Each structure stands twice: as C-alpha cells, then as structure tokens.
C-alpha cells in the first residue's frame, strides 16, 4: 500500500481537515479502509471500532 500510495495515489488524495492527526498516515487510513471492506464493514464508526479493538497493535497512532 505504501509503495502504491507514493507512486500514484498521493496525487488523488488530500487531507482537508485542519486538525488532521499527522502521526496517523494516509497510507494507514487507506489500509484500514481496505481491511474494513474485506471484513464487510462499510460504516466509518463500525470500521473504527473494529480497528480499535483488533488492530490497535498494528496501528498504534490510531486517533480517537
């Protein structure tokens, strides 16, 4: 994901929130979203709760 992001995706993605938590990278956001789709989780809240519960160790900078 990181390699693809740096080659192509960065051109199409931009953070718009002024309070963005920069320790949690765009690559991590995309990865969690794709994990969520694989697990059939589409709502942001459901995806976040699942990531917080099961993947916190892989994503230690996951914002609250």
Distance CA 50, CA 20 (A): 21
What is the pLDDT at residue 16? 62
Distance CA 42, CA 37 (A): 6
CA distances from 24 to 5, 20, 40, 62 (A): 14, 9, 23, 6
pTM: 0.66
Question: What is the residue range of 48's domain?
Answer: 22-64
Residue 60 lies in a domain: yes
What is the pLDDT at residue 18? 64
What is the pLDDT at residue 49? 92
C-beta separation of 47 from 36 below 8 A: yes
Into how many domains does the chain fold?
1
Residue 55 lies in a domain: yes
The stretches in the chain having pLDDT less than 50 are: none
What is the pLDDT at residue 45? 92
Residue 42 lies in a domain: yes
What is the pLDDT at residue 27? 83
Closest by Cα among 42, 23, 30, 37 to 6:
30
Helix (H) or strand (E) holding 11: none
What is the pLDDT at residue 7? 81
Residue 7 lies in a domain: no
Residue 40 lies in a domain: yes
Residue 54 lies in a domain: yes
Residue 1 lies in a domain: no
């Amino acid at each position: 994901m990181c390699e693809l992001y740096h080659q192509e995706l960065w051109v199409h993605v931009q953070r718009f929130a002024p309070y963005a938590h920069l320790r949690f990278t765009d690559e991590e956001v995309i990865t969690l979203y794709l994990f969520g789709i694989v697990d059939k989780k589409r709502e942001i809240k459901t995806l976040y709760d699942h990531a917080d519960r099961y993947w916190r160790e892989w994503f230690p900078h996951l914002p609250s």
